[in-house]
Amino acid sequence: MFKLDKLSVCLGFTALVAITAQSSFAQSGSAKFPGIGRVATPAEVAAWDIDVRPDFKGLPKGSGSVEQGQVIWEAKCASCHGTFGESNEIFTPIAGGTTKDDVKTGRVASLKDMKQPQRTTLMKVPTVSTLWDYIYRAMPWNAPRSLTPDDTYALVAFILSLGEIVPDDYVLSNTNIAEVKMPNRNGMTTKHGFWNVSGKPDVNGNACMHNCVPFVQIGSTLPDFARNAHDNIAEQNRMYGPYRGADTTKPPIKELPGLSGAGLAHAADTHSASSKGPAALFKNENCSACHSPNAKLVGPSIADIAKKYEGQSGALDKLMVKVKAGGSGVWGAIPMPPQAQLSDEDRKTLVSWVLSGGK
């Protein structure tokens, strides 16, 4: 009886395997959930499976020189990252903080001596595949997936040359990329308790209940000048209930307001404060991703645009066209993408607002 049962289970299993194997060619290949999903075609997998691992599994063929990389860099990358990858304006710097000695040892010395105020990408990243994958999948920041594999090899080569990891005449390719020695290749560890749920914590507190500390010392407070750095906290809390927000536009009050709330000067209610208008439109339509009020980001600042066109007749119409169709060359090589999604009315509101300097 037992044997028979086992046999029938076995037969059943074989049948199941046969069905699964057969159906792997069908559009719906599931035994357990028939009709759900379909087989991915090789072309589909190739279109999406672009990741590159440290062992370079997934790396496409191609090559690019430092020189080619520099040309692409100056056109597409320098406005955010600086001409030499040193900019800390928008994102943290790419290059700097590594030495030829680090390339030899595989450990970046400045990570320990704290002489560098900011960690650069080259100080951190242990594997060159990471740079390749990062750039190919997500750069330039405002136009991801627009670079070819050869562009990517060239840009990686240029970045490596900034860190003096490869010479200025280097040509990086899929055949020599494994030879690249990253300065922090030995600087990463997974020997910690955070990788797994079962990992052992490196720090633990204690459960003392009474007379736990000899004296309580306050080591750090928010400096007085930062009181209003996050805007008025009164407007970030409920206007009723036991816990109100402090009016940080003013110095702390002298004494308790009392149950009446007398003396709480913060009672301006923000619920009708409108988030409409050109400033909100500017943010919601993602213009602020590239243009800031005063400093150059990816594109020119609002102040710079206003200044350039100040008093020019026809500036409004000219910029209206430009915002709709996109353009390049006026402010550098980075193109302004077309904004065809905007209604004429919104476009007018935005351009007028920008020309007024954002007032």
Partner 1 sequence: MEKPVNRARLVKAPEHFISQELIADINSNGLDEKRRGFLRNGFMSAISGAAVGLVAPYTMAAGEGDPAILEKQEWQTTLGKNVATMPYGVPSIYESNLIRRESPGLTRVSAASVAFTPLQGLFGTITPNGLHFERHHQGWYNINPETHRLMVNGLVKNPRVFTMNDLMRLPSISRTHFIECGANTGLEWGNVAVPTVQYTHGMLSCCEFTGVPLRVLLEECGADLKKGKFMLAEGGDGSGMTRTINLESCLNDAIVAWSMNGEMLRPENGFPLRLVVPGVQGVSWVKWLRRLEVGDAPWNSKDEAVHYIELMPNGDHRQYASIQECKSVITTPSGGQQLLDKGFYNVSGMAWSGRGKITRVDVSFDGGNNWRTARLETPVLTKSITRFNIDWVWDGSPAILQSRAMDDTGYIQPSIKTLRNVRGTRSIYHNNAIQSWKLDSNGEVSNVQVG
Among 1, 167, 209, 314, binds partner 1 (CB under 8 A): 209
Q: How many CA atoms lie within 13 A of 68 on its CB side?
A: 18
Interface positions, 145-184, toward partner 1 (CB under 8 A): 145, 184
What the block records as the tokens of 199 is 């990992």
Residue 245 to residue 239: CA distance in whole angstroms:
8
Is the CB of 1 or the CB of 218 nearer to partner 1? 218
Least distance (Å) from partner 1 to the CB of residue 137? 4
| Residue of the chain from 2, 4, 43, 217 that contacts partner 1 (CB under 8 A) | 217
Residues 171-193 as b/e (b if ≥16 CB within 10 A, e otherwise) read bbbbeebeebebbbbebeeeeee
Distance CA 248, CA 38 (A): 58
**Inter-CA distances, 358 with 230, 284, 306, 343, 350, Å:** 21, 15, 8, 19, 9
- We find the least distance from the C-beta atom of residue 110 to partner 1, in angstroms, to be 9
Q: How far is the CB of 321 from partner 1 (least distance, A)?
A: 25
Site for partner 1 in 87-146 (CB under 8 A): 89-91, 107-109, 111-112, 114, 119, 121, 124-127, 129-130, 133-134, 137-138, 141, 144-145
Min dist CB 266 to partner 1, Å, is 8
In angstroms, give the least distance from the CB of 27 to partner 1. 10
- Which of 162, 19, 180, 167 is CA-nearest to residue 95? 162
Q: Which residue lies nearer to partner 1 by CB, 35 or 311?
A: 35
User: Among residues 190 and 343, whose Cβ is nearest to partner 1?
Assistant: 190
Q: Which region among 49-57, 62-70, 300-308, 338-346 touches partner 1 (by CB under 8 A)?
A: 49-57
Q: Are 319 and 354 in contact (CB under 8 A)?
A: yes
Interface residue with partner 1 among 1, 4, 43, 197 (CB under 8 A) is 197
Shortest CB 98 distance to partner 1, Å: 13
The total of other beta-carbon atoms located within 10 Å of residue 75's CB is 15
Size of the site for partner 1 (CB under 8 A): 128
Site map 228..257 versus partner 1, x via CB under 8 A:
-xxx-xxxxxxxx-xxxxxxx---xxxxxx
Concatenating the DSSP letter of every residue in 293-356 gives: SSS-SSS--HHHHHHHHTT-TTHHHHHHHHHHH-B-SSSSSSPBPP-TTS-HHHHHHHHHHHHT
For 82, 84, 100, the CA distances from 168, given in Å and listed in that order, are 18, 13, 14
Which of the stretches 60-68, 69-77, 194-202, 305-313 binds partner 1 when contact is defined by CB under 8 A? Answer: 194-202
| Eight-state DSSP code of residue 253 | P
User: Within positions 329 to 358, which residues make up the interface with partner 1, using CB under 8 A?
Assistant: none
C-alpha 185/C-alpha 102 separation (Å) is 9
Q: How far is the CB of 312 from partner 1 (least distance, A)?
A: 29
Per CB under 8 A, contacts with partner 1 among 272-331 are 272-274, 283, 286, 288-290, 292, 295, 297
Distance of CA 174 to the CA centre of its chain: 27
Site string for partner 1, 15-44 (x = CB under 8 A): -----x---x----xx-xx-xxxxxx---x
